[in-house]
Structure 1
Amino acid sequence: MEAGSFVRNPIPWTPKSPFRRRIDSAFPRSVRVSDSASSDGGYRGPKPTRDLVANWVSKNDDFVRSLPIYVGGTSLLAVLFNRTVSGIAPVADASSSQSRADLLTLGLAVTNILSGLVWLSVRPKTISMVNPIGIECQRINPQLPTPVVSELLWIWESLSDVTCCMSLVVVYDRSCILQIGFAAESSEIEGEAVSVDAITLMQGSLYQGVMKSGVQNYLANLSLYPGKSELPFLPLNTQAVILQPLGDRGIAIIGGDTIRGFTTSDQAWISFIGEKLDATLVKCLVNF
């Protein structure tokens, strides 16, 4: 099979397509717990409990962060008022137990106020999904057997439906067999997606590291890794990337639109998908 040989949209991918129905029957999609529970008469496991305090705090974040300031300010005013009405001299006297108690209370009140100011100034950064900067493409090697094409499309649909995946590239046996989803736009040809140079990719440190370790590599925040230059075919604002080895002959590159958007469950599921895809490719592409 020649590297770089692709066909675009080789199979119509519509919800009512007969080919789509064949893929769904061959590779059924996972169901949620609620769906399976309704089919077997109800969920019999332990029921999750709602943390009312955590829910209330999350809904009243600004008030909770300001609460130490209110408590500290009220305590400070209370100490000054008590000092005024009690008839004690305003000058602190170390020999007086009341003065020592007031000093301790004032220290706690000031600490509360400072804590509230810190809570208001330090806030967690909001992480949200981004719109990919690029164009959509679907490139599949035309020489692939139908079962392999079916599984590749099923994998893409599953990942894009249940994870933050927006790009999928599969390189196998020194050739890119799939590039689907969003891709970076070529600077030479307007409206054309940047193609995957499998040979150059395989010479990079990211590919070499994954193949040497044989385990998945998750780049949770791609912008922090200098190796992102080895993935020029992904959209410019790709937020996270999973590099999943396919045995010792290839790799699947999954780009996401959210920083740390792939959960631990997603990573484990993608590992199983990689093993299944590798077994399919080895079985169907004997002469690949």
Structure 2
Amino acid sequence: MAKSDPNRVLRALPLVAGALGGLTLLINRGLTPVISTPQSRSDALGILLSAVLILVGLLWQQVQPRSPEAVELDGDEVFEFASDLPDTLQTELAWASHQLLTNTVTRSLVIYYQDQVLLRRGILPPKPDVTPKAILKRVMEQEKPIYLVALKLYPGRIEFDYLPANTQGLICQPLGSQGALILGANAPRSYTQQDERWIAGIADKLAHTLAIAFPTP
């Protein structure tokens, strides 16, 4: 279920105040049998101020950024390593995933490397396997990240069936040419440039560690 916008009342306040002020002035004008010159000037000033409030309210609707609508992801809390990973590597992957889950909007995380899933963590469906398709293959081949800001708008979202079905945003961050860090968020357009830099930095560190742990033949 989508969360309500926390700023909706603030944005609507000038509109409501302006409309109520203008309506009150019109009612008062209609109920006054004799209109004096000072009252006419006061009414004109009041209507002008009400119009300004309404204009400010309309501008706020356009200018103030709205918080992305977050959803409750479909799936269960998961924390699974691939079998037979060395303890030191498990510790490294656990640290990296914890940093991403606590310091970015990431809610689902999969680390894929050399044709195997090394780690699944966060809210995820039961499906554990990753089959690289167009988007993931391109990320690994070009070694460049792909950020799908609103996943539901992309036909290619069907290849990410190992993430919650209602994942809203997604980043595929390469781990060299051998794998990728796949991150899912519960709100569209929610990763900031700072998040992207943080993810890239952690991915670089993981890529170095994994290249040592799994040397290419």
State the TM-score, normalized to the length of structure 2.
0.73
Equivalent positions of 1:150-229 (< 5 A) are: 150-184=91-125, 193-197=126-130, 200-201=131-132, 204-229=133-158
Deviation of 1:269 after TM superposition, in Å, equals 0.6
Q: Indicate the RMSD between aligned Cα atoms, in angstroms.
A: 4.0
Q: Are residue 235 (structure 1) and residue 151 (structure 2) matched?
A: no
Specify whether residues 70 and 255 from structure 1 end up closer, same or farther in structure 2 by C-alpha distance, changes over 3 A only.
Answer: same
Q: Quick one: structure 1 residues 212 and 69, their matched pair in 2 at CA, closer, same or farther if it must change by over 3 Å?
A: farther
Stretch deviating more after TM superposition (171-180 or 123-132):
123-132
**What are structure 1's unaligned runs of at least 5 residues?**
1-56, 87-104, 185-192
Q: 1:119 offset after TM fit, Å?
A: 6.7
Total equivalences in the alignment:
205
Q: Deviations along 1:239-286, whole A, 9 cap, x unmatched? A: 211110011111110112222332221110110001000000111222
- What is the CA deviation profile of residues 158-178 of structure 1, one whole-angstrom value per residue up to 9, with x for unaligned ones? 122222222111111222222
Aligned partner (choices 200, 211, 215) of residue 282 of structure 1: 211
Q: Which stretches in structure 2 are left out of the alignment for 5+ residues?
A: 1-6, 38-44
Do the aligned residues in 1 keep the contact of 2:17 with 2:50 (CA within 8 Å)? no
Judged with a 3 Å threshold, the aligned counterparts in structure 2 of structure 1 residues 183 and 65 are, in CA distance, closer, same or farther, namely same
1-structure distance, mates of 2:200, 2:14? 41
Alignment check: 8 A CA contact 2:106 2:183 kept: yes
Question: Residues of 2 paired with 1:242 and 1:172: CA distance?
Answer: 16
SS at match of 1:260: coil
Matched residue type, 2:182: I
Amino acid at match of 1:136: E
Separation of aligned partners in 2, 1:114 and 1:180: 48
Superposition deviation, residue 113 in structure 1: 8.7
TM-score (norm 1): 0.57
- 2: CA distance between counterparts of 1:132 and 1:146? 30
Percent identity of paired positions between Structure 1 and Structure 2: 28
Letter in 1 for 2:129: V
Q: Find the counterpart in structure 1 of residue 192 from structure 2.
A: 263
Contact 2:117/2:129 (<8 A) preserved: yes
